[in-house]
Amino acid sequence: MNAAVPTPQNEPHTPPSTAEVHAADIQAAQAKISTVIEPTPLQYCPRLSQQYGLEVYLKREDLQDVRSYKIRGAYYNVASLTDEERSAGVVAASAGNHAQGVAYACRAMGIAGKIFVPKPTPKQKRDRILVHGGENIELVVTGNTFDEAAEAARVDATERGATIIEPFDARETVIGQGTVAAEILAQLTGLGRELDSVIVPVGGGGLAAGIVSYLADMSPRTSVVAVEPAGAASMAAAVNNGGPVTLSAIDPFVDGAAVKRAGAFPFEIIERNLGRIHLIASEEGAVCTEMLALYQNEGIIAEPAGALSVAGLNGVKLEPGSTVVCVISGGNNDVLRYAEVMERSLVHRGLKHYFLVNFPQEPGQLRSFLTDILGADDDIVLFEYLKKNNRETGVALVGVELSRASDLDPLLARMEGSPIECRRLMPGTDEYEFIVAS
């Protein structure tokens, strides 16, 4: 699981240049990309509406050709290049979704592109980059984080004189992402509704900055809630610092929004709009729970970042009956990740726990653990002696899955009263990460 405490590194802050994006810019971009990018559905969600007492709509950006909103900013950015810049080619760094947008644009416009992705990028995303880019794209896999891949991309672009297509820290990218807000307002107007709040995922900040820029001009009554993954809250760190800072470590699980450093351009827009945009964080386990709920109830295959906005519903207070739009930002999820998604969700909901159990060198101790400590509805899902040459006694790692979170306290009480030494491993600790998650 590789959870990490996202603490900023000490470094000086260089104020960014003045960032300005207005509704007119976004409307012009919408006209430019409309021949290639069709509007995505705005889907009413009865389940979430009933659960939260709101009128909840889902903006289905996962249904884009590249399964992510990132195609908007990427395509508009590439389309805005001069002929000379197009001839020199483009370079991009991405956790996967922006890269697909750039690949799509390069193939559509006949431009050569070189794309850098970090090693944790799911194979599904890597394959889709090549599908969308075809012979126009060279894919380079390097670095353990987006930021490391981005540095490699910058070096390559400088050496070759190519143009970098930024995933979030560029005016054209922010403008392109802002077209999501233009569509939402138009679609709700067609339904005879006003938009009270929109909930968006935030990583580097491009989508949030574009949306708040459009709404500031066209619907100033609308609030924006920007949801970060708790293990990679780089925008909150930037706001607290007065400018972007580099986090010393992040949890890369929400790969579409896990960046160590927020973008300077979107940060300035977000900081200027802090009266209407609210930053919150969602635990990665909560994101996993919403991913599973979206799939099981609405049939939506959301990637972790795509479920961030829905997870954020738990952290906002809105007037009952408010009209809220959650942006499902992407659906590029590798099926091989679902084991980890389910694991994180169970741990988050308090249904799965791990213990170090020291079995005395006496016969019948395992049977005693099963009959005297475990509850009738508790299941052992992992049992492994830590010393591989000791198969019958000693310390074992035991994973227990509960039917109800409320069953934990009785289980702990039975452990406390047992002669068998049991110690719970707490998620997020170094010990838990070393023993359980490694």
Q: Looking at per-residue confidence, does 121 or 51 come out higher?
A: 51
Which residues, including other chains, have CB under 8 Å from residue 1's CB and lie 6 or more apart? 251, 253, 284, 340, 343, 344, 427, 433, 436, 437
The average pLDDT across 297-326 equals 97
- The pLDDT of residue 251 is 93
Given a cut of 80, whether residue 396 has pLDDT beyond it is: yes
pLDDT band at 81 (very low <50, low <70, confident <90, very high): very high
Given a cut of 60, whether residue 260 has pLDDT beyond it is: yes
* Residue-wise DSSP of 188-214: HHHTT----EEEEE-SSSHHHHHHHHH
Backbone angles phi, psi at 311, to 5 degrees: -60, -30
Question: Which class does domain 350-437 fall in?
Answer: alpha beta
The average pLDDT across 255-260 equals 92
- The pLDDT of residue 241 is 96
Residues 160, 436: Cα–Cα separation, whole Å: 45
Residues 153, 102: Cα–Cα separation, whole Å: 14
- The pLDDT of residue 279 is 97
Given a cut of 70, whether residue 286 has pLDDT beyond it is: yes
Asked: is 23-68+171-343 a CATH 3.40.190.10 domain? The reply is no
The average pLDDT across 9-15 equals 42
- Mean pLDDT (the chain, rounded): 92
Indicate the angle between helix axes 123-133 and 97-109, nearest 10 degrees. Answer: 10
Given a cut of 70, whether residue 8 has pLDDT beyond it is: no
Q: Name the architecture of domain 90-161.
A: 3-Layer(aba) Sandwich (3.40)
Residues 167, 91: Cα–Cα separation, whole Å: 11
Q: Which residues pair with 141 in a beta bridge?
A: 117
Given a cut of 70, whether residue 201 has pLDDT beyond it is: yes
Do 90-161 and 23-68+171-343 have the same topology in CATH? yes
- The pLDDT of residue 51 is 98
Given a cut of 90, whether residue 23 has pLDDT beyond it is: yes
Selected catalytic residue, list 70, 125, 260, 352: 70
* Residue-wise DSSP of 222-264: -EEEEEEEGGG-HHHHHHHHTS---BS---TTSTTT--SS--H
Which amino acid does the sequence have at 212?
A: V
Tokens of 309: 């906005």
The average pLDDT across 264-277 equals 97
Is the CB of residue 400 less than 8 Å from the CB of residue 410?
no
By CB neighbour count within 10 A (0-12 exposed, 13-18 middle, 19+ buried), where does 231 fall?
buried
Given a cut of 80, whether residue 6 has pLDDT beyond it is: no
Selected catalytic residue, list 219, 223, 234, 329: 329
The average pLDDT across 361-390 equals 87
Closest CA relative to residue 400, chosen from 420, 422, 374: 374
- The pLDDT of residue 90 is 98
End-to-end CA gap in the chain: 7
Given a cut of 60, whether residue 5 has pLDDT beyond it is: no
The average pLDDT across 314-322 equals 95
Residue 421 DSSP symbol: E
Given a cut of 90, whether residue 220 has pLDDT beyond it is: yes
Q: Is 248 a catalytic residue?
A: no
Residues 40, 332: Cα–Cα separation, whole Å: 16
Residue 134, CB-side half-sphere exposure with 13 Å CA sphere: 8
242 dihedral zone (left: phi>0; alpha: psi -120 to 50; beta): left
Given a cut of 50, whether residue 13 has pLDDT beyond it is: no
Q: Is 329 a catalytic residue?
A: yes
pLDDT digits (tens, 9 = 90+) for 337-351: 899 999 999 999 999
Domain segments of the chain as ranges:
23-68+171-343, 90-161, 350-437
Given a cut of 60, whether residue 1 has pLDDT beyond it is: no
- The pLDDT of residue 435 is 86
Given a cut of 60, whether residue 9 has pLDDT beyond it is: no
Given a cut of 70, whether residue 438 has pLDDT beyond it is: no
Backbone angles phi, psi at 83, to 5 degrees: -60, -40
- The pLDDT of residue 123 is 85
Is the CB of residue 245 less than 8 Å from the CB of residue 238?
yes
Given a cut of 90, whether residue 64 has pLDDT beyond it is: yes
Is the CB of residue 178 less than 8 Å from the CB of residue 213?
yes
Given a cut of 50, whether residue 109 has pLDDT beyond it is: yes
The alpha carbons of the chain give a radius of gyration, in whole angstroms, of 24
